[in-house]
């Protein structure tokens, strides 16, 4: 899976300028029959390869363990900190409806305006031409400003954003753990703050039958972290005490904590799918099951994928290799 994390012909020290013309990514999936194009595309292969590479990279590791933090990782965290600060500067407005606070549109307009500049702070000068293409995925990753909603398609755009940074050589193989533990984890914190502050609607939620109203990837990577854990089993994540004591180490438990903060009533009722998962005997079985479920419920669903955009880094063209 790591092939796309290595640039062809680039030394580890300095990436050669890519002989490639970048483009503004665009929609290619316009009707249900286009879904076959997506599943055969280079974009799908690269996206899934990226998700699975990171899944292996964090296997059995705690959020709090030691790992390398490169300069691009630091810059990505700084970018996310900026988005976080903008939330503080854009308080919710008084409005009659409880959900979908219109102040989100003001916050989003700022990102829309600044996205390319933000991305330019992360990528080296010789790759400056990539910024407009990569920035599209960042803008798509924070929710929809018309509907004021957020869902797994937006989350996928953020993973695609990180995948693009790998493809142009900004992020490298030895950044794997930091990509999940530092960057993606910070992204999650900012998204949770957006969801809470602006009372965002879940996009395309399956209600009680979905895994979670907003996220999916942290459950995949979070279950991988727990594989072969000496005493935490899947049945333990519905135990409040276990969650409170271990959530700082494991992304999966952090997700459970957020759900219990946001929802009232018995866990088995508001999060039925997760309740069922707690009966699976091992974390590796949970992890495999969640990967299958992610493909079926997110990546193979037209309402989610119709919004995905394709460019030179994540092309709609069929897989070559």
Please give, one letter per residue, the 3-state secondary structure of the chain.
CHHHHCCCCCCCCCCCCCCCCCCCCEECCCCHHHHHHHHHEHHHHHHHHHHHHHHHHCCCCCCCCCCCCCHHHHHHHHHHHHHHHHHHHCCCCCCCCCCCCCHHHHHHHHHHHHHHHHHHCCCCHHHHHHHHHHHHHHHHCCCECCCCEECHHHHHHHHHHHHHHHHCCCCCHHHHHHHHHHHHHHHHHHHHHHHHHCCCEECCCCHHHCCCCCCCHHHHHHHHHCCCCCCCCHHHHHCHHHHHHHCCCCHHHHHHHHHHHHCCCCHHHHCHHHHHHCCCCCHHHHHHHHHHHHHHHHHCCHHHHCCCEECCCCCCCECCC
Average pLDDT on 55-69 reads: 97
**47 and 314 Cβ atoms separated by less than 8 Å:** yes
Average pLDDT on 105-130 reads: 97
Average pLDDT on 2-13 reads: 44
Q: What is the mean pLDDT of the chain?
A: 93
Average pLDDT on 221-242 reads: 97
Local confidence band at 280 (pLDDT 50, 70, 90 cut-offs): very high
Q: Considering only CA atoms, which of 175, 165, 233 is closest in space to residue 58? A: 175
Q: Which residues contact 226 (CB under 8 A, 6 or more apart)?
A: 232, 250, 252, 283, 286
**156 and 108 Cβ atoms separated by less than 8 Å:** no
Average pLDDT on 84-108 reads: 97
* pLDDT tens, position by position, 286-307: 999 999 999 999 999 999 999 9
Average pLDDT on 97-126 reads: 97
* pLDDT tens, position by position, 77-87: 999 999 999 99
Average pLDDT on 184-199 reads: 97
Average pLDDT on 125-151 reads: 97
Average pLDDT on 12-33 reads: 78
Local confidence band at 15 (pLDDT 50, 70, 90 cut-offs): very low
Q: Which residues contact 258 (CB under 8 A, 6 or more apart)?
A: 192
User: Look-up: residue for tokens 């866990």?
Assistant: 267
Local confidence band at 210 (pLDDT 50, 70, 90 cut-offs): confident
pLDDT of residue 209: 67
Local confidence band at 204 (pLDDT 50, 70, 90 cut-offs): confident
Q: Which residues contact 241 (CB under 8 A, 6 or more apart)?
A: none
Lowest-pLDDT choice from 14-23, 28-37, 55-64: 14-23
Whole-structure pTM value: 0.94
| Pairing mode, strands 149-150 and 26-27 | unpaired
pLDDT of residue 211: 87
Q: Is 33 buried (19+), middle (13-18) or exposed (0-12) by CB count in 10 A?
A: exposed
pLDDT at 124 over 90: yes
pLDDT at 2 over 70: no
pLDDT of residue 1: 41
pLDDT of residue 320: 82
Average pLDDT on 30-54 reads: 97
């Amino acid at each position: 899976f790591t092939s796309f994390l290595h640039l062809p012909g680039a030394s580890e020290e300095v990436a050669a300028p890519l002989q490639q013309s970048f483009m503004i990514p665009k929609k290619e999936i316009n009707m249900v029959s286009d879904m076959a194009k997506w599943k055969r595309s280079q974009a799908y292969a690269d996206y899934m390869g990226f998700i699975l590479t990171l899944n292996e990279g964090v296997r059995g590791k705690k959020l709090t363990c030691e790992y390398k933090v490169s300069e691009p990782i630091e810059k990505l965290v700084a970018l996310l900190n900026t988005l976080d600060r903008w939330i503080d500067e854009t308080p919710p407005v008084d409005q009659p409806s409880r959900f979908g606070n219109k102040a989100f549109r003001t916050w989003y307009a700022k990102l829309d305006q600044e996205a390319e500049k933000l991305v330019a702070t992360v990528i080296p000068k010789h790759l400056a031409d990539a910024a407009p293409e990569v920035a599209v995925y960042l803008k798509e990753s924070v929710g929809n400003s018309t509907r004021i909603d957020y869902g797994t398609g937006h989350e996928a755009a953020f993973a695609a954003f990180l995948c693009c940074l790998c493809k142009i050589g900004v992020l490298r193989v030895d950044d794997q753990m930091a990509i999940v533990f530092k960057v993606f984890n910070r992204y999650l914190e900012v998204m949770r703050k957006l969801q809470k502050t602006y009372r965002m609607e879940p996009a395309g939620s399956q209600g009680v039958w979905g895994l979670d109203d907003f996220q999916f990837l942290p459950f995949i990577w979070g279950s991988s972290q727990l594989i072969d854990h000496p005493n935490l089993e899947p049945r333990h994540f519905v135990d409040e005490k276990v969650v409170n004591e271990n959530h700082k180490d494991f992304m999966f438990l952090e997700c459970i904590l957020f759900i219990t903060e946001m929802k009232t009533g018995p866990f088995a009722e508001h999060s039925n799918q997760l309740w069922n998962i707690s009966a699976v005997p091992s974390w590796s079985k949970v992890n495999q099951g969640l990967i299958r479920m992610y493909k079926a419920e997110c990546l193979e669903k037209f309402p989610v994928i119709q919004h995905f955009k394709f460019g030179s880094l994540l092309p709609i063209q069929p897989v070559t290799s």
